[in-house]
Structure 1
Amino acid sequence: MGLVWAKLWKMFGREEYKIIITGLDNAGKTTILYQFLMNEVVHTSPTIGSNVEEVKWRNLHFVMWDIGGQESLRQAWSTYYSGTSFLILVVDSTDRERLTITKEELYKMLSNEELKGSGVLIFANKQDVKGSMSAAEISQHLNLTSIKDHGWHVQACCALTGEGLYQGLEWIGAQTKNRT
């Protein structure tokens, strides 16, 4: 009976998942957060520190932390890792020059013990801009196939229109079911 009750609680309960949204400055993190929250584009300015919002989608409840991506703030990212279920890394698909920095930051995050077992969703943002890298190109540059101890997915998106964002949440939703 206890197993049945636990499964029913999972189906109808309000299990909460902590998500941190990271990426370099100007990648589109805050725009994505507010697309999820309000389904519209909100004028944003560079995030100093973090923004936190509760996002309910289907039967899932997320607490999303959008963390500032300026170089001076990245050393503090690890203070947000505790209890994280999913990491969303937002990549500016037009910023080829800083992709190496993005890769370094990603692997630094994944080596942190507090993110062990966290799923990784990579949003290849700004797909609406001519000359942007495809999700496959970004995956190759970030060497994602070498990541064996985290489930991961790359999703092409455009934060301004919302295109691709909910497909990313679909992946996260599927991963929550795999954790039961």
Structure 2
Amino acid sequence: MGQLQTRSAPSHPPQVVLVGLDSSGKSTLMTRLLTGKLMDTSPTVGFNVGTLDLDNKVSMTLWDIGGQRNMRTNWRYYLEHCKALVFVVDSSDRERMPEAQKVLQKLLSEEKLKGVPLMVLANKKDLNNTLTIREVPDP
């Protein structure tokens, strides 16, 4: 992800954007990262934002953007200062994997993402009959 900014630096912490289809687990992931707890979440309408402190000097801002079809056109507005992109897929939802791949390919055509590191996170691996990492399609 490159260098992270320290709190003493005058600039804002690096921004990491979490996107993916609706119900892929983005909000649950973000809640777990920020609180350490597993909590029930509801569908995100708009976005959630929080600061993840990695240690006393290093932090990052996490953006969890709603994944419903009508929200996806708004994703580009959150990419301006994006330093890393995490695309979350529900590894238990085989039927929607082609849709996820198509959505990711379209997103990666955004000029603002040129040179931005991408992580495709296969979520919900605790469920039965999930895709293996080799079965999750490349973008």
Query: Helix, strand or coil: the match of 1:128?
Result: coil
Count, aligned residues: 132
C-alpha deviations, 1:6-53, integer Å up to 9, x for none?
xxxx79833621011001011100000011100001221000000000
* CA distance in 2 between partners of 1:82 and 1:97 (Å): 32
- Of Structure 1 and Structure 2, the greater helix share is in 1
Are residue 75 (structure 1) and residue 73 (structure 2) matched?
Answer: yes
From 105, 109, 134, give the equivalent of 1:107.
105
* CA distance in 1 between partners of 2:4 and 2:94 (Å): 42
Are residue 42 (structure 1) and residue 39 (structure 2) matched?
Answer: yes
Q: CA deviation at 1:57?
A: 1.2
**Which protein shows a greater Rg?**
1
For structure 2, list consecutive stretches of 5 or more residues without a partner in the other structure. none
Contact in 1 for aligned 2:14/2:61 (Cα 8 Å): yes
Are residue 24 (structure 1) and residue 17 (structure 2) matched?
Answer: no
Structure 2 counterparts to residues 50-129 of structure 1, below 5 A: 50-58=47-55, 59-129=57-127
* CA distance in 2 between partners of 1:126 and 1:48 (Å): 21
Length-normalised TM-score, structure 2:
0.88
| Identity fraction in percent | 35
For structure 1, list consecutive stretches of 5 or more residues without a partner in the other structure. 1-9, 145-180
Paired AA for residue 52 in structure 2? V
* CA distance in 1 between partners of 2:113 and 2:62 (Å): 15
